[in-house]
Structure 1
Amino acid sequence: MTSTTTTTIAGAVDEPAARFLDLVAAEWIKVRSLRSTPWVIVLVTLVVTGVAAARALADYNNFPSYNALTQREHPFSLGDSFPAEGYLTLMLAAVAVGAIAAVSEYGSGLIRTTTVAVPARGAVVLAKAVVQVVMWTVVGSLVALCSFFAAQAILSGRDAAISLGDPNALRALAASALLAPVCALVGLGLGVLVRHSATTVVAGSFVLLLLPVFFSSRKPLSVTFANAMVRNAWQRLAQIYGTPPEAYNGATVAGSWTVYVLWPLVALALALLVVRRRDV
């Protein structure tokens, strides 16, 4: 009788280990429960689309004063669709939300409950990464499509619109859409490393937005470092200024896609390494 009771109690206590999909679902609930997340997404979408529309409207109004070559080739069409000012805002929002996804648990103390329920800390970080990638890929795609079609709808009045089938347009759309998850993963990795909201957001903003400005375009080593920055890689892939490829200081399309891959991978790898060695 005693043996049976002990077995029953042990069976009641033992619970199946959390599956990875369960962790992803839990992380999605955490992100969705943050009141700031939907507001940030809506605001970023409106800002980027608004800036694209404003840029396109300016070119629409100035179109009669452009020379014949510019009117015929309208090199501004792609830049109006993916305005740098708007997408820098998107980068800032993505890195901030990615950072908060990691840091918020440390600030609230919820991380202790999480690690008790799921001792495999690396799996928790990977689940957070999956949620950030999926969410920001959807958001980035929505923003890119909205900004593109808003700009082209205005430029069509001057017969200066382009389609997604035009050269470089589809690549620019893909690069602009994927810019958000790349920055979100960098923010997530920094959040796990730093564990302080303000410091992480400042560090992410500096690395992604400000650091590229400090590199010279004349010194070969400085140019190499500049081409390795996410911001510069996006500008090369989107070719937002209608600049010929040779003007990008040696940055190539393949190299820029490599930058897109390496930054989040390195950030995530460092986060996984640190989270397994550091105490909560």
Structure 2
Amino acid sequence: MTTTTTPPPATEVTGATGPRARFRHLLAAEWIKLWSLRSTYWVLAIGAPAVTGINVNSALTNLDWLSQRDAPAPMDPRMRYDALSSAFVDPAWQILMVVAGSVGALAVFGEYTSGLIRTTFTAVPDRRAVMLAKAVVMSAVTAVLGVLVSVASFGVTQAILREHGGLSIGDPGALRAVAASALLIPLSALVGMAVAALVRHATGSIVTTLVSLVLAPAFLQGDTYRWVKELGNAMPITAWNTLIENPAMEHPPAKYAETVTEAWIVFAAWPVAAVIVMVLAVRRRDL
């Protein structure tokens, strides 16, 4: 008597231990892992309101100064107050970058330090798919966070400054600034994940992420040497500063200044590079 074995459907690839998990299953697993981390809730509960609050406080402070001026603002566009700058205060967004980068790093090194990564790769031998799923879930969550903080910061600050040059989303440069600020958060999270995939140590990953996102760009300022300036232009925070500039305001010409197109290229290149690093790191390095 013979037995006929029916091969598995083409959509389910089998391995040594049974059917291989589909990508949607990996997404679901990574979603559960992410929300099992307390840090995820801390980012939503503290990070986002804190950054929005700093921007709102900046707008209120500027409103008080603008309201107390003896004379109205000069008509010279070079002397006008830039209301857009209140929505995107540099230190506030640097804080959110570091927080998002740290959460991204924790999502990776947390599994290494706890040993869970061995179980994960035993259940799913395709390490590349696991890291891609992590990147997709982290990008989606932090993108929503970025949109909420960016839209809230812009909307509230411009409403406060509506009588002193407050902008609407349709004004030149406004939508670009909101979009760039929203995208800065998932970009930072992916950088943190890439760093953690290489370093695989809690303190080392956080410190390296901080250096990469905030400290290194601070040393790449000035226009004495073009190569230093060009390296600085390739950093995410520098590109973000270019994208949030108000085109209605006149700015003094800067030497070796970055263009808007170049800034968007930087914004696209860093996430792609981060994902490539993550995938190569887990494929070429042992646990």
- Normalised TM-score (structure 2): 0.88
2:221 and 2:231 map into 1 onto residues whose CA distance is: 9
Question: Which one of 127, 138, 142 corresponds to residue 148 of structure 2?
Answer: 142
Does 2:63 match 1:60? yes
- The answer to whether the 8 Å contact 2:150/2:178 transfers is yes
Distance 1:88 1:123, change over 3 A: same
2:259 and 2:136 map into 1 onto residues whose CA distance is: 28
Partner-residue secondary structure (3-state), 2:146: helix
Partner-residue secondary structure (3-state), 2:19: coil
Does 2:154 match 1:151? no
Moved more, 131-140 or 40-49: 40-49
| C-alpha distance after superposition, 1:47-93 (max 9, x if no partner) | 11111111111111111427423799744211101111210111001
Q: Give the aligned partner of residue 109 of structure 2.
A: 103
Amino acid paired to 2:243: L
Partner-residue secondary structure (3-state), 2:18: coil
Question: Which one of 46, 49, 57 corresponds to residue 46 of structure 1?
Answer: 49
Q: Give the aligned partner of residue 11 of structure 2.
A: none
Matched-pair identity in %: 43
2:185 and 2:130 map into 1 onto residues whose CA distance is: 21
Q: Give the aligned partner of residue 79 of structure 1.
A: 85
**CA positional deviation for 1:41:** 1.9
Question: Which one of 127, 130, 139 corresponds to residue 124 of structure 1?
Answer: 130
| C-alpha distance after superposition, 1:12-56 (max 9, x if no partner) | x96321001110110010000111211212211111111111111
Amino acid paired to 1:263: W
| 1:217-236 map, 5 Å | 217-218=222-223, 219-236=225-242
Distance 1:73 1:173, change over 3 A: farther
Partner-residue secondary structure (3-state), 2:166: coil
**CA positional deviation for 1:270:** 1.8
| C-alpha distance after superposition, 1:164-186 (max 9, x if no partner) | 01110000000000000111111
**CA positional deviation for 1:269:** 1.0
Q: Give the aligned partner of residue 209 of structure 1.
A: 214
5+ long unaligned stretches in structure 1: none
**CA positional deviation for 1:247:** 3.3
Amino acid paired to 1:17: R
Q: Give the aligned partner of residue 170 of structure 1.
A: 175
Distance 1:268 1:245, change over 3 A: farther
**CA positional deviation for 1:245:** 7.7
- Normalised TM-score (structure 1): 0.90
1:240 and 1:227 map into 2 onto residues whose CA distance is: 18
Distance 1:266 1:229, change over 3 A: same
- The answer to whether the 8 Å contact 2:173/2:246 transfers is no
1:73 and 1:220 map into 2 onto residues whose CA distance is: 30
Question: Which one of 222, 229, 247 corresponds to residue 254 of structure 2?
Answer: 247
| C-alpha distance after superposition, 1:85-120 (max 9, x if no partner) | 210111001100000111110011101110110000
Amino acid paired to 1:175: A
5+ long unaligned stretches in structure 2: 7-13
**CA positional deviation for 1:249:** 3.6
Q: Give the aligned partner of residue 182 of structure 1.
A: 187
**CA positional deviation for 1:154:** 1.2
Question: Which one of 255, 260, 276 corresponds to residue 283 of structure 2?
Answer: 276
**CA positional deviation for 1:121:** 0.4
- Give the number of the structure whose residues are more often helix, by fraction: 1
Distance 1:254 1:184, change over 3 A: same
1:234 and 1:215 map into 2 onto residues whose CA distance is: 15
Q: Give the aligned partner of residue 199 of structure 2.
A: 194
1:146 and 1:73 map into 2 onto residues whose CA distance is: 27
Partner-residue secondary structure (3-state), 2:169: coil
